[in-house]
Structure 1
Amino acid sequence: MRLPLFPLNLVLFPGGYLPLHIFEERYRLMMRHCLDGERRFGVVLINSGSEVGEPAVPEAVGTIAKIDEVRTLDDGRMLIGVKGEQRFRILEIVEQLPYIIAEVVPLVDDAVDVEEGLIADVRQAAKEHIQILMALRGERTQPPGLPTDPARLRHLVGSQLQGEVIGKQGVLEEDDISNALRLALRLLNEESATLKERLRDGMGRSSSN
């Protein structure tokens, strides 16, 4: 299938929601074409280049996004909201101008033979990670529930990660869900350790005032 691409300095996962401010003319055109069709395009992390200007070089794996909301401003800029649907792999870039169009293949998540212990470890690490983030933000609500389905868990945890986008990209593009969850578990534990230090530092400063 052919898909217009929107290279960005972020990673969108299936199930994730992304607000976008569309101001460049090429992407306004792309969105108009999408709205006239199936309302779908690909969100891909930039490998090299930038979001603005010359076409960037995208990573090989991205996420199909469907436009859920759109608001066109008086000056032609657009505010849209999209939801991630499915991972895809780029087979070939077929057009570069005015925006990138690629031949892509959708990727199916094969969740066979994922160890229950690994799923439990990732869910526990994700829960602790969420609790630390909530403490840093001063939130006292109950943390949301976490899925037991390996594919959904991979996508939710990937969206939850706060660190470098290259780590999130690794979780997204790994075809073996067990390997993706192991990577996500390592990244969660590393981030949680860093966030705990930040939380302790903040509590220390508060107690000294």
Structure 2
Amino acid sequence: MRKVDFPLFPLKMVLFPNVPILLHIFEDRYQKMIRHCVDKQQEFGVVLEDEQGTHGLAKSQRVGCSAEIVTIQRLRNGRMNVAAVGKKRFRILSTNYVQPYLQGEVEFIPLDGDRSDSRLQKAGEMLRPCINQYIMQLQKLVDIQVNWEGLPDDPVELAYLAAYILQIDPQQKQLILEQDTPLDLLRFILREYAIEQHALKTVLALRRLYPDSAEKIFSLN
């Protein structure tokens, strides 16, 4: 399925299907974009911004995720707080600036592969304790409160939630979004969790040995 003149919102983050996003809209062009989406009852696309922060597309990255607006809090001077949720992956075929904001022709790209594959279910079972352990490690380093009860049963939904939780560089998250099969997605996520858990163990060990300097030696990113 393709859409033309699909509103695109370049951000310094990667959105995944079925995970939330909170936005404070203050630029006139994006206020207009949100009003357009509300009037037309349509989604907009979140894409990774280029490294220079010029509100263009990151080099060679043409895959994004659509977002459905859930609630809007209207503020002074046209500003808005917008809550949305990720819906579908898409590939950008072309872009234009007919409107003040970026638009594109996009093709929605569902994951290819058998969702009932037993290997997929097994990978999901392996990922679940990794998420729990990662969150517990993270809570020892930073002051966060996360309720991980009720994790989704579907392995793909679980994988995207796991990607959302991971404290890694957006470029690495982009690679997660670009995985084209459910099994590749789960395997990629499991590798990332193994790497990050090892890094967190190292930081925690250093903190115990050098409580005053561990944070200066390592950062989470």
**How many residues are aligned here?**
204
Are residues 1:199 and 2:204 paired? yes
Q: 2 CA distance for matches of 1:40 and 1:147?
A: 24
Is structure 2 residue 121 aligned with structure 1 residue 119?
no
2:158 counterpart of 1:153: yes
- 2:143 aligned with 1:162: no
In structure 2, the residue matched to 1:87 is 89
Show the counterpart of 1:60. Answer: 62
Question: Which secondary structure state, in structure 2, belongs to the residue aligned with residue 146 of structure 1?
Answer: coil
AA in 2 matched with 1:100 = L
Match of 1:131 in 2: 136
Q: Does 1:182 align with 2:184?
A: no
AA matched with 2:57: V
Q: Is the 8 A contact 2:65 2:89 kept in 1?
A: yes
2:45 paired residue number: 42
Which string of whole-angstrom CA distances, capped at 9 and with x for unpartnered residues, describes residues 51-106 of structure 1? xxx54124311111011121222222211111111111112214364111111122
Larger mean CA deviation between 102-111 and 164-173 belongs to: 102-111
Instruction: State the shift of 1:190 in Å.
Output: 1.1
CA contact (8 A) 2:11 2:55 kept: no
Is the Cα contact below 8 Å between 1:109 and 1:151 reproduced in 2? no
Structure 1 residues 127-168: Cα deviation after superposition (integer angstroms, max 9, x where no partner): 221221233346788742433423212211111111111111
Code of the residue aligned with 2:171 in structure 1: it is: I
Specify which of 107, 112, 115 is matched with residue 105 of structure 1: 107
Give the secondary-structure state (helix, strand or coil) at the position aligned to 1:57: coil
* Unaligned 5+ runs, structure 2: 213-221
Note if contact 1:4-1:101 (Cα within 8 Å) is conserved in structure 2.
yes
SS at match of 2:76: coil
Structure 2 vs 1, CA of residues 132 and 111 (structure 1 numbering), >3 Å: closer, same or farther? farther
Give the TM-score taking structure 2 as reference length. 0.81
Q: 1:100 to 1:139 in 2, by over 3 A?
A: closer
- Is the 1:44–1:61 Cα contact (8 Å) retained in structure 2? yes
- Which runs of structure 1 show a deviation greater than 6 angstroms over 4 or more consecutive aligned residues? 139-142
**Cα distance 1:202–1:144, how it changes in 2: closer, same or farther (>3 A)?**
farther
8 Å contact kept, 1:93–1:102: yes
- TM-score scaled by length of structure 1: 0.85
CA deviation map 1:17-57 (0-9, x unaligned): 1111111111111111111111410011124541xxx5412
SS at match of 1:104: strand
Which 5+ residue runs of structure 1 have no aligned equivalent? Answer: none
Q: Return the alpha-carbon distance in structure 1 between the equivalents of residues 146 and 47 of structure 2.
A: 33
Tell me how large the CA RMSD over aligned residues is: 2.4
1:22 corresponds to which of 21, 25, 29: 25
